[in-house]
Structure 1
Amino acid sequence: MTYQNILSELQGQTLKVTINREQKLNALNKATLAELAEVIAFAAERDEVKAVLLTGAGEKAFVAGADISEFSDFNGVQGEELAANGQNTVFNAIENCPKPVVAAINGFALGGGLELAMACHIRIASANARLGLPEVTLGLIPGYGGTQRLAGLVGKGIALEMIMTADMISAERALAIGLVNHVVEPQELIPKSLEMLEKIKQRAPLALAAAIKAVNASGTGKSGFETEIREFGNCFNTSDFKEGVSAFLEKRKPVFGGK
């Protein structure tokens, strides 16, 4: 696949996706969002892709935000369409991707950039990362799922503090509040992310997809538990379940086929 704004490379069944607008601090414009939508759809559908690593080019920024110039003259209807399209095709698509998606956060993750990282299943941050949602300084609020995902990750109180103050926080603070899973030195960011994905890829692919679906349903009350029960039951119908049990009883490592 050839893109203008992102780089996409398959490395040992991990699709490494790099937002490649370093001179613009990897800001999300319409073209970049369209390419992200395409590459995430590709990853979700293709058997050769077992996991996705998402990062930004260079050390200054994961994604420093959205390209404000593209929507500076929008009205309310256009604003709603912008948010709905982005959420449906990119942010929700990442969150609901059946393949595990890890965000490797290098440098600034602000506004839409932090929303992009939060849509991923796991976040690993460089020690020099700075994270925040500054939209209220523009007279806006986060529109790509940020209000919902941030509150789910760190709780309502801290989410409202971050959104209403518009302050950036350090990687260590992000780790302390549960916004990121790990903090590593800059040179360790990609190796650590790939190491985690290598471990995850050894697990049963259909069970991973089921776990993603069930966890995403959390916080929805009874339907979340119903989703877990249904996905748990579905796992019993897979060849991977038979292989996992056989390997456990035979004291060997399982070899999962994703069926």
Structure 2
Amino acid sequence: MTIVITPRTIVGQLDYDMAELRAAATEHAALLESLGPVPDRDETAAAAAAAAHHVLRRLRRQFLRRHLAVVYGTATDDLRRGLRLSALAAAVTVLYPGLLPSTAQVHADAAVAQPAKEGWEIDQGIFFQAVFADPVLGNHLLDAMRAPTEAALDLLADFRATGSITLPAARLERSGSTSTITITNTECLNAEDNQHVADMETAVDLVLLDPETRVGVVRGGVMDHPRYRGRRVFSAGINLAHLHQGKISFLDFLLGRETGYIAKILRGHTEDAARWPAVPTTKPWVAAVDSFAIGGGAQLLMVFDRVIAATDSYVSLPAAQEGIIPGVANLRLGRSANFRLSREVILWGRKIWATEPEARSLIDTVAEPADMDLEIGKAAARLASPAVVANKHMLVVAEEPQDVFRRYLAEFALHQALRLYSPDVMAKTERFDRKAPR
């Protein structure tokens, strides 16, 4: 039986448009089911699926242009409550059937490797592009993402009492007025995965919430990997094996890390509008780079107030070679360095050693490996000065207003989702997947 996709148009009347969108999504799902699983489709079936996706995505974008404010307002009780990315997507899925992929469709994609997915994250990217492009709604969502997580609130009393919390991929310890997050994803050289992002946000929240902590430090743990056994490593960037296996979440990782823990390191928690006097909710942060900061690790350095690196370490952003967009580095590297260097690093894949002159754009202090602890302590002591918080807040306001970040995210949300399903990304990440056929 041939499934016919009925031509449909959004006219601007909410009830009519909802019915059209729901019917289109139903036809679309029936067509995909008739074509079989993604890996089993021949060229004709793959082309039919791609054409159907194009039609539905175009209709979804038209609907969002007309009704985004109503959709977002309904989901958030007219902006009276903030929802995180996943919670917002889940609420909209229920309230406006057809506007986003169904829960069953999202779960089915989450269970298979990246090449076997239908690509529903592109549809999520379309939705969040529209939200971030709107100044009121986009900032409301960003503020919701910078609120403390429930996981951190549940652990706060324990951390205040003991000064130590151990999570699956990170460890947090307080010493005096400094709290240090040690990344402990050691089996993969501190590569970033879903667990790592969740644990980093919990730890960052605890640093910001703890009244005894004045400065936060992030450093990589000691490796048990054969090549780096006994050495510290800052970060190997995104776990490309997990990406190929389909285990990297678009919402919770690729969008969530930028709008969650990284945004909190840069801007702090969302301010309480009812609190007076208004006090910045941010704190100063130090990054300590041992061995290397690759990809996401290099991106992370751009939001820290002080970066200390060992003389034998290097920084690189190979995202263009991997096929994806390196988070917000395309916005931030040109600001901290210059546009020629940002193109050389991002587009050309240049590796920068800590001792090179160009490293000054990313690194403040270069120390011998044996002196790293001393330099970290000196930086933390200096940043504990009472005037630092207010001045950091004003520096961020001047350098990267949230509206600049929001507009960047609107483009990033869609284009990163599209890159995830590009043939070159599939081919490049496969070699990092130990489970992939050789």
Q: Report TM bin, short chain.
A: 0.7 to 0.9
State the partner residue of 2:189.
25
1:64 maps to 236
Matched, 1:168 2:351: yes
Aligned to 1:16: 180
Distance 2:318 2:330 in 1: 12
Q: Which residue, 390, 397, 408 being the options, matches 1:217? A: 397
Distance 2:194 2:204 in 1: 15
Is 1:129 the counterpart of 2:129 in the alignment? Answer: no
Shift of 1:73: 6.3
Report the Cα offset of residue 69 of structure 1: 2.7
2:166 is paired with a residue whose SS is coil
Higher helix content, 1 or 2 = 2
- Deviation track 1:46-72 (CA, whole Å, cap 9, x = no partner) reads 111111111001235210111123333
Aligned match of 1:87 in 244, 251, 258?
258
Partner of 1:250: none
Q: What percent of counterpart residues are identical?
A: 23
d(CA) in 2 for partners of 1:49 and 1:208? 14
- Does the aligned pair in 1 maintain the 2:284–2:305 contact within 8 Å? yes
Shift of 1:83: 2.5
Q: Structure 1 residues 118 and 5 mapped into 2: Cα distance closer, same or farther (>3 Å)? A: same
> What is the aligned partner in structure 1 of residue 414 from structure 2?
none
Q: Secondary structure in 2 aligned to 1:53? A: strand
- Closer, same or farther: CA 219–198 of 1 in aligned 2, 3 Å: closer
**Closer/same/farther in 2, CA of residues 72 and 219 from structure 1, 3 Å limit:** same
Question: Do the aligned partners of 2:190 and 2:236 also contact (CA within 8 Å) in 1?
Answer: yes
CA 1:9–1:155: 2 relative to 1, 3 Å: same
- The separation in 2 between residues aligned to 1:147 and 1:180, in whole angstroms, is 17
> Max radius of gyration: which structure?
2
Distance 1:175 1:48, change over 3 A: farther
Q: How many residues align?
A: 216
SS of equivalent to 1:165: coil
Aligned position for 1:194? 377
CA distance in structure 1 between the partners assigned to 2:206 and 2:180 by the alignment: 12
Pairwise CA distance, 1:171: 0.3
Question: Structure 1 CA distance, aligned partners of 2:361 and 2:371?
Answer: 20
| Structure 1: segments with no counterpart, 5+ residues | 225-259
Is residue 322 of structure 2 the alignment partner of residue 138 of structure 1?
yes
Cα contact 1:53–1:194 (8 A) shared by 2: no
Q: Please tell me whether residue 179 in structure 1 is matched to residue 350 in structure 2.
A: no
Q: Is the 8 A contact 1:60 1:106 kept in 2?
A: yes
8 Å contact kept, 1:174–1:180: no
CA distance in 2, matches of 1:116, 1:176: 15
CA distance in 2, matches of 1:188, 1:15: 19
Residue in 1 that maps onto 2:208: 44
User: Retained in 1: the 8 A contact 2:352–2:359?
Assistant: no
Q: Which amino acid aligns with 1:146?
A: A
1:4 is displaced (CA, Å) by 1.3
Q: Distance in 1 between matches of 2:372 and 2:358?
A: 15
Higher strand share: 1
Q: Does 1:155 align with 2:338?
A: yes
The residue identity in structure 2 corresponding to 1:209 is V
Contact 1:175–1:182 at 8 Å: present in 2 too? no
Change in CA separation of 1:8 and 1:82 when aligned onto 2, cut-off 3 Å = closer
* Superposition CA RMSD, Å: 2.1
**Unaligned segments of structure 2, at least 5 residues:** 1-164, 223-230, 269-281, 405-438
Letter paired with 1:43:
V
Letter paired with 2:290: N
Residues 220, 115 of structure 1: alpha-carbon distance in 2 compared, 3 angstrom cutoff? closer
TM-score calculated relative to the size of structure 1 = 0.77
Equivalences for residues 96-107 of structure 1 within 5 A: 96-97=267-268, 98-107=282-291
Q: Report the Cα distance in structure 2 between the residues aligned to 1:60 and 1:142, rounded to whole angstroms.
A: 23
